[in-house]
Amino acid sequence: MEIAVKNEKLKNWVKEVEQMCTPDKVYWCDGSKKEYNELMSQMEKSGMAIKLKKRRNSFLFRSDPSDVARVENRTYISTRSQIEAGPTNNWVAPDELKTTMKSLYKGCMKGRTMYVIPFSMGPIQSPIAKIGIEITDSPYVVCNMHIMTRVGKKVIRKLGKKGEFIPCLHSIGAPLAEGQQDVSWPCAPIEKKYISHFPAENLIWSYGSGYGGNALLGKKCLALRIASAMAKREGWMAEHMLILRLTSPAGKQFHIAAAFPSACGKTNLAMLQPTIEGWKCECVGDDISWMKIGPDGRLYAINPEAGFFGVAPGTSYDSNPMAMDTIKKNVIFTNCALTDKGDIWWEGMDGKPPKHAIDWKGRDWPTENKEVAAHANARFTAPASQCPVICPDWEKPEGVPIDIFVFGGRRAGVVPLVNEAYSFDHGVFLGATASSETTAANIGAVGNLRRDPFAMQPFCGYNMGDYFQHWLDMGDKLQDKAPRIFYVNWFRKTPDGRWLWPGFGENSRVLKWMCERIEDKAQAVKTPIGLLPTDDGLDMKGLNIEAQDIKALLNVDIEAWRAEIPDIEKHFAQFGDLCSH
């Protein structure tokens, strides 16, 4: 890198890692297009990347079958005491974990290049942004970080001599002996994979995996696990939430931050195309929201990411046309199928499946045993700037003011289409008890009820009991300027399994009701679980839906809710006296 690095702490850390990991050379990333293209060309030559004929500047990668997803059982929150990590996190004492990992890191980059990636989470000039430095031996990680974060010289300049940064150390854990032939996806076996977080030091160490959030350390590791602990200490919020702007026909803007467990249509909602005339939706972010209280006492949010790391299977022009338009060029695809025409394919894509393809394991497809062509967690990494409905203010340094928080889950029964919390504290209760019936995307038997508070269970970097308290404390600080809180369930069914609500673009009707509630333009019915729309409260113009279905969607069955209480009590009991305060 041409720019001089003036930060002594950074220079010393890089030197220390170099001595421990012993790479063949060290390369400082500048974030340029030239750098990206050269690394891609290098990976294409080595057989790691496949250039796609049908999509400009786009490439397909196939990971090792042992390295396809987040490895939550190998993910650790390392705090001084176990109580600080809480019952939902895997805990190992810092000294013990560091000793184990240092022995693995010793000489782990032999035969490889060590890349130093200076990156910003959030627009570089934003008061809400944070700087990270990721050290990695994976060119695949460098190229993904180019898309997912803001990488390069500007970050080093912003850091200056005394700036603070979050050190993120990553290695695929596959040193090369002299003359040893590399494989197309090097990684370590599962028992040697570690994704470790040290919140007291704002430190991330990852070893053995080259995939997704295990390796792109700006993603869940920094943006949620470490940032949530920083946010608790510093008085802000780091949340697993999409951010969208909804504009009414009168031109009034509403900003919504929403948290859903996996397989609940989060990206689809972030890129919503309203079906109600005159309403417009724009995407600020599809996954993570960092929020601070502004000078006016309101909560302002930025999307700390610069790209989308989206699940590919099930994405189509039918389910999410805006995502499909986003991924036409400049995209990294991982574990998708490759068609004979030189394009990608996955299950759930529009049109007929190809007669023949190469599946994510590099085999002819269809396979004899009828396996899927694309892995269930196949991904696309795409620049957010390419999204046709990206909000013009998505990189506004001060962020956008949040009016509404939405929580939700996938429930066939019990939970109505929408209800509003009576107060901010009641809304915190709704977020803390958020539940979903498991699907193939979750671990566990399909159909089991799983509590996923605030959709943060795998991502909270400290005790979740303390996390609930932090939400209550933020409500106290915000007072009457706190966002209103709602809970939704797009997935209610009839007893014979028919969907009651069409979902997708029609969800704008529910969001419209929320906006009208804020403006005191919509009536609500009081129920034991919250405020619900009146019979004619939702705008159903142009939607052919039976009156009995609307009644079922908004039905509150008191006995069914009473039956939920033991599970809710059991859920809270795990935190009980465990909070670290």
**Structural domains of the chain ordered from first start:** 8-30+68-234 (3.40.449.10), 239-303+394-576 (3.90.228.20), 308-386 (2.170.8.10)
How high is the pLDDT of residue 576? 73
How many Å apart are CA 555 and CA 573, to the nearest integer? Answer: 29
Residues 225, 198 contacting (CB under 8 angstroms):
no
Task: Say what the pTM is.
Answer: 0.96
| Cα dihedral value 323, 324, 327, 328, nearest 10 | -150
Q: Is the peptide bond before 366 cis (omega within 30 degrees of 0)?
A: yes
Cα separation, 59 vs 130, in Å, equals: 29
Q: Which residues are catalytic?
A: 264
Burial of 443 (0-12, 13-18, 19+ CB in 10 A): exposed
CA–CA dist 169, 196 (Å, integer): 10
> Could you give the 3-state DSSP secondary structure of residue 203?
strand
**What is residue 577's predicted lDDT score, i.e. its pLDDT?**
65
pLDDT of 444? 47
Dist. CA 67–CA 59, nearest whole Å: 19
The β-bridge relationship of strands 242-247 and 253-259 is antiparallel
- CA dist 349 and 345 (Å) reads 7
- Reference 360, options 343, 338, 342, 393; nearest CA is 338
- Residue 275: count other Cβ atoms within 10 Å of its Cβ: 17
Per-residue pLDDT of the chain (581 residues; tens, 9 = 90+): 567 899 999 999 999 999 999 999 999 999 999 999 999 999 999 999 999 999 999 999 999 999 999 899 999 999 999 999 999 999 999 999 999 999 999 999 999 999 999 999 999 999 999 999 999 999 999 999 999 999 999 999 999 999 999 999 999 999 999 999 999 999 999 999 999 999 999 999 999 999 999 999 999 999 999 999 999 999 999 999 999 999 999 999 999 999 998 878 899 999 999 999 999 999 999 999 999 999 999 999 999 999 999 999 999 999 999 999 999 999 999 999 999 999 999 999 999 999 999 999 999 999 888 899 999 999 999 999 999 999 999 999 999 999 999 999 999 999 999 999 999 999 999 999 999 997 554 444 556 899 999 999 999 999 999 999 999 999 999 999 999 999 999 999 999 999 999 999 999 999 999 999 999 999 999 999 999 999 999 999 999 999 999 999 999 999 999 999 999 999 999 997 645 54
The answer to whether the Cα torsion of 73, 79, 83, 86 is positive or negative is negative
